[in-house]
Structure formats: structure tokens, C-alpha cells
Amino acid sequence: MEIVTEKGKECIVVSVKGKIDAVTSPDFEKGLADLIEKGEMILLLNFTSLEYISSAGLRSILAIAKTLKAKNGKMLFAGLRGPVKEVFKISGFESLFKIFETTEEALKSL
């Protein structure tokens, strides 16, 4: 798994590549928690290059979302595809978060 962040005007875009599984989810969660600690309030997760996510990754996302919510921040998602999109749908994450086709659309919504 690789995480690349890009600071935008109203949010930080976090692009995740590869797999978020039980092996990589602690690093994923730590990476996002560090951004929140630095004061980021709106995280836009770009999952265009994310191939796979398991319940360990969903648990990390929920934990981070709870932290952000308590600070009145939020998490948006863009570019979900294939298996990742399916897992979001099955586990009800589609109704928990705002999800956009592309990062451009997500940025426009802010």
C-alpha cells in the first residue's frame, strides 16, 4: 500500500494505492490520524488505485470518521471501483459517506 497526499485549498486529497488489508490497515489508519493531528479537517480519499479493502480497512475508516466527526470535520471518497465499490455497498458504507465518481466532482462539492 502507498499513500500520497496533496494539499488542496479546502481539503487534503489522500490517494491510496494497492491493498488495505489486515496487514496494511494500521499504517493506513496512522497516516490519516497524523493528518488530523496536523489540523486537517476534510479528508478526500481518492481510491482510484485501490484494488482491495477488507473489514480491517473498513474498521480503520470508521475509526477515523468518528474522530473527524467529533471535531466537526469530514471524510469524502472518490474513484471507488470494482471490489472496493462492492465492499462499500455491501457493508453500508455508501450511506455513511459522500462518495463521488472522481476527485474533481468531490472537490466541486466543497
Partner 1 sequence: MSKITLPARIENLRRLVQFVSGCARHQGYSESRTNEIELAAEEALVNICRYAYPGGEGDIALRCRRSGRDRIIIEIEDSGIPFDPLSASEPDLRPDIARRAAGGLGIFLIRKMVNEVHYRRDVNKNILTFIVSPERRPLDARKEHARSTQGRKSA
> Rule CB under 8 A: which residues touch partner 1?
21-23, 51-52, 54-56, 58-59, 62-63, 65-66, 69-70, 82-83, 86-87, 90-92, 95-97
73 vs 56: CA distance, rounded Å: 22
Q: How far is the CB of 28 from partner 1 (least distance, A)?
A: 15
Residue closer to partner 1 by CB (options 8, 83) is: 83
Q: How far is the CB of 3 from partner 1 (least distance, A)?
A: 19
Q: How far is the CB of 88 from partner 1 (least distance, A)?
A: 11
Beta strands in 1-110 (DSSP E): 2-7, 12-20, 42-46, 50-53, 74-78, 98-100
Helix (H, G, I), strand (E, B) or coil at 40: coil
Which residue, 48, 3, 45, 44, is CA-closest to 24?
A: 3
Residue closer to partner 1 by CB (options 9, 72) is: 72
- What's phi and psi for 88, nearest 5 deg? -60, -40
Q: How far is the CB of 64 from partner 1 (least distance, A)?
A: 10
